[in-house]
């Protein structure tokens, strides 16, 4: 595969990428041409116009959205929460293409001291998913490998704080401690540490931050930053935005 990839990249003159991370991966094969960066299409207006209903009241609502697979790594969330004793709920939302992984995940959940707080939900409609983002206090995507992570943009557009794994394309979308949080890739202890901080402080900080107006509604600065995602998306991910390989 590496030989084929190297040959293909070195003989290409234009490559579509979805993040700076994926561009660096391609450059490692010797590519010196131009990149056009744009991810899969998102109807972002539906998320920006969501009716936000999250609150500071218990339980603290955590969600994961993605396929239930080893690469997306939802098991690490359950493992990390074993190190935490706080009032929360966890909903793992997504399709289950890998039956063996699903069995392993269900076994871990059944053995967890928090088993009654954890729910597995099949893939939802866009309307249902927007509602989940709107209620959630924290969105986690702990992928071992990820080109960008469209669901992060969806969560941010509803002003839901996000927590992601390091060393992936997801980092393109995060300003640490402002538009999201990052933990060490595939490290349950570091994820538990980040979760502990999140459960203890995120809602308090949201409440204390200065407010701005978005349309006719007052919004916290986190909401204000999240709703700038459209401008960021348009300026960084466009078929008209070409980048020369350095």
Write out pLDDT tens, residues 205-214. Answer: 555 444 433 4
How many Å apart are CA 184 and CA 178, to the nearest integer? Answer: 18
Contact 78, 118 (CB under 8 A): yes
How many Å apart are CA 119 and CA 57, to the nearest integer? Answer: 19
Selected residue with higher pLDDT from 215 and 85 = 85
Greatest CA separation for the chain:
56
| pLDDT, tens digit, 9 for 90 and up, residues 82-117 | 999 989 999 999 999 999 999 999 999 999 999 999
How many Å apart are CA 161 and CA 104, to the nearest integer? Answer: 28
pLDDT at 106: 98
Name the least confident of 44-53, 63-72, 110-119. 44-53
pLDDT at 27: 92
Residues of the chain by 3-state class (helix, strand, coil), percent to 5: 40, 20, 40
Name the least confident of 22-36, 42-56, 217-231, 232-246. 217-231
């Amino acid at each position: 595969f590496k030989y084929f990839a190297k040959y293909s990249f070195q003989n290409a003159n234009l490559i579509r990428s979805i993040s700076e991370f994926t561009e660096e991966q391609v450059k490692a094969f010797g590519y010196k041409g131009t990149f056009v960066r744009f991810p899969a299409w998102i109807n972002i207006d539906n998320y920006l116009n969501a009716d936000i209903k999250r609150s500071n009241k218990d339980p603290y609502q955590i969600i994961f959205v993605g396929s239930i697979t080893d690469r997306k790594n939802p098991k690490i969330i359950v493992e990390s929460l074993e190190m935490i004793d706080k009032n929360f709920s966890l909903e793992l939302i997504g399709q289950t293409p890998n039956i063996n992984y699903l069995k392993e995940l269900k076994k871990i959940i059944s053995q967890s001291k928090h088993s009654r707080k954890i729910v597995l939900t099949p893939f939802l409609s866009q309307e249902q998913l927007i509602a989940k983002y709107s209620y959630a206090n924290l969105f986690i995507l702990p992928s071992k490998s990820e080109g960008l992570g469209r669901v992060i943009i969806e969560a941010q557009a509803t002003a839901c704080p996000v927590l992601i794994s390091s060393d992936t394309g997801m980092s393109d979308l995060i300003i640490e401690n402002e538009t999201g949080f990052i933990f060490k890739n595939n490290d349950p202890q570091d994820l538990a540490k980040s979760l502990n901080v999140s459960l203890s402080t995120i809602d308090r900080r949201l409440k204390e931050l200065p407010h701005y107006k978005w349309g006719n509604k007052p919004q916290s600065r986190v909401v204000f930053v999240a709703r700038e995602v459209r401008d960021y998306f348009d300026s960084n991910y466009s078929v008209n935005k070409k980048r020369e390989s350095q």
